[in-house]
Amino acid sequence: NAGVTQTPKFQVLKTGQSMTLQCAQDMNHNSMYWYRQDPGMGLRLIYYSASEGTTDKGEVPNGYNVSRLNKREFSLRLESAAPSQTSVYFCAGTGQFADEQFFGPGTRLTVL
């Protein structure tokens, strides 16, 4: 039982490049989330998926897209990376009536 996993762990991009951050969970979570964390800051919600087949914008969705591929997987795509998207990205999941969000280990992204 790996919980919530994220790939890659580290990534360096050049401005304008695209990439997809992958997240998978084996805890049968209904809801999944993508957050970003900038230095010295708390986590900010980018997108979330309340259930399989649905996605919604969070606080800071601009420049990102998401796909809830199935119940296990929730990916985050940067179509044209910008230096302002340099951050640590965390994926999380929770069940419909669960009281706790489980977080992945994070992806550290640098955009040059």
Contacts made by residues 51-58, CB under 8 angstroms, sequence distance 24+: 51/96, 58/33, 58/34
> Nearer to other proteins by C-beta: 59 or 79?
59
CA distance 50 to 32: 7
- 100 near other proteins (CB under 8 A): yes
Nearer Cβ to other proteins (44/72): 44
Instruction: Give the C-alpha separation, 51 to 11, whole Å.
Output: 28
Query: Least CB distance from residue 28 to other proteins, whole Å?
Result: 17
Q: Which of 25, 31, 85, 87 binds other proteins (CB under 8 A)?
A: 31
CB 66 within 8 A of CB 81: no
- Rounded Cα–Cα distance for residues 91 and 12 (Å): 19
Encoded one letter per residue, x for contact with other proteins by CB under 8 A and - for no contact, window 45-84 reads x--x-x-----x-x--------------------------
Contact residues for other proteins (CB under 8 A)?
4, 31, 33, 35, 37, 40-45, 48, 50, 56, 58, 88, 90, 92, 99-106
